[in-house]
Amino acid sequence: MKVFVNKRIPEIGIHMLEDAGLEVFIPEHENLSHEEWLNYCKSHDAILSVGGGFKFDADFFIECPNIKAIALYSVGFDHVDVHEATQKNVAVGNTPDVLSKATSDVAFLLMQSVARRASYNFEKVKSGNWGDFDPLHALGQELYGKTLGIFGLGRIGFEMAKKSKAAFDMDIIYHNRHQNEEAEKNLNAKYVSFEELISQSDVLSIHANFKPEQNELFNSSVFDKMKKNSIFINTARGGFHNQKDLYDALAEHKIWGAGLDVTNPEPIFKEDPILELSNVCVLPHIGSATEEARNGMAKMAAENIIAASKGEKMPNCVNPEVYTN
Ligand code: DGY
């Protein structure tokens, strides 16, 4: 089986593929145009796909009828038309669990950075403006005993809730497709409606898988209902929030602050006015960027490809129906 890997990944994954006797191709330059990417896809049997920039949509499956498997180097699969893949019998794999701790660490980091105004204060220091001790200036807020609202309490949301409970004894409320019994039992998490979630959270953190029907679900009508002291955290997908509405809510102090590891659009334009605000911390989608998580993702993506090359079920498959078609 010929495997196209569009960007270098940790060596462990490549070695696993080669040791399994697979022919691996990684292009020398990594900033492929869509045309170059598509041509490589057409001449391979499987793809280990890094990044969400190239879409596996209905056209892709028409253009690349030889593709048998797609192993994503991500847990998110919003850039794949899974229905179409299933129709064409293409197994799609992802990398859950191995990045849950790292990604929730970033949500936790953003929550604290915003609460204690870390970006604002760092900017002051960098501009030579340390300032005198001032009892009234740049005050943050404490998180102890506050309410953390989780939108999408799956693996990553659970880790975020667990850390926040342990560190700050936060009350956990959540809104999800299904109730999460483990979180209710171990973290005393309470299931609430979407309306209750947005109006009761002191910190609102998004951890759901993104679906097109949720595009810009967090917009002015939501920000208007959030508490004035609330902090909005998005480490999931930028598409969840309307960035202009978020800017307005922050600039007009309708909410207290925001921490973003994902933006809309992504990458963010350097001229985006949200970057000028002092109550915002923005990171460049580094949720899974630890050695441990990235090695785990490489291993898991390789395992998915190797299973597919043997005609076996991928260990982490988002469309297991392909095996019963
Ligand atoms: C994921 O795994 O989905 C991360 O967001 C990286 O794309």
Does 145 share its domain with 89? Answer: no
Task: Report the pLDDT averaged over residues 138-166.
Answer: 98
Mean pLDDT, rounded, of the chain:
97
- Our mutation pick for probing the ligand 1 site, out of 7, 50, 99, counting the most ligand atoms within 8 A of Cβ, is 99
Does 42 share its domain with 161? Answer: no
Query: What does 129-174 look like in DSSP terms, one character per residue?
Result: ------TTSS-----TTPEEEEES-SHHHHHHHHHHHHHH--EEEE
Q: 97: CA distance to ligand 1 center in Å?
A: 12
Nearest Cα to 93, choosing from 324, 289, 310, 297?
297
312 classed as catalytic: no
Does 90 share its domain with 105? Answer: no
Q: 74: CA distance to ligand 1 center in Å?
A: 4
What's the CA gap between 73 and 50, in Å, rounded? 5
Does 85 share its domain with 163? Answer: no
What's the CA gap between 193 and 47, in Å, rounded? 40
Q: 75: CA distance to ligand 1 center in Å?
A: 5
Does 273 share its domain with 172? Answer: yes
| Burial per residue of 211-248, b for 16 or more beta-carbon CB atoms within 10 angstroms, e otherwise | eeebebbbbeebbeebbeebbbbbbbbbbbbbbebbbb
What's the CA gap between 286 and 307, in Å, rounded? 29
| Residue range 26-82, pLDDT digits in tens | 999 988 999 999 999 999 999 999 998 999 999 999 999 999 999 999 999 999 999
| Residue range 86-101, pLDDT digits in tens | 999 999 999 999 999 9
Spatial strand order in the sheet of 46-49: 23-25, 2-5, 46-49, 69-72, 91-93
Nearest Cα to 140, choosing from 262, 252, 241, 259?
259
Nearest Cα to 105, choosing from 167, 29, 26, 34?
167
Does 229 share its domain with 116? Answer: yes
Does 267 share its domain with 140? Answer: yes
Which of 264, 282, 300 is at the close of a domain?
282
Question: What pLDDT does 30 receive?
Answer: 81
What's the CA gap between 307 and 89, in Å, rounded? 15
- Our mutation pick for probing the ligand 1 site, out of 55, 72, 75, counting the most ligand atoms within 8 A of Cβ, is 75
Does 159 share its domain with 184? Answer: yes
237 classed as catalytic: yes
Question: Phi and psi (nearest 5°) for 260?
Answer: -125, 130
Question: What pLDDT does 210 receive?
Answer: 97
% of residues, the chain, pLDDT over 90: 98
Number of domains forming the structure of the chain: 2
What's the CA gap between 207 and 19, in Å, rounded? 36
Does 128 share its domain with 272? Answer: yes
Q: What CATH number is associated with residue 187?
A: 3.40.50.720
Range of the domain at 180: 100-282
What 3 state SS string does 214-234 have? Answer: HCCCECHHHHCCCCCCCEEEE
pLDDT band at 325 (very low <50, low <70, confident <90, very high): low
Does 148 share its domain with 272? Answer: yes
Catalytic residue among 155, 237, 241, 294: 237
8 classed as catalytic: no
Does 173 share its domain with 241? Answer: yes
Does 63 share its domain with 39? Answer: yes
pTM of the model: 0.97
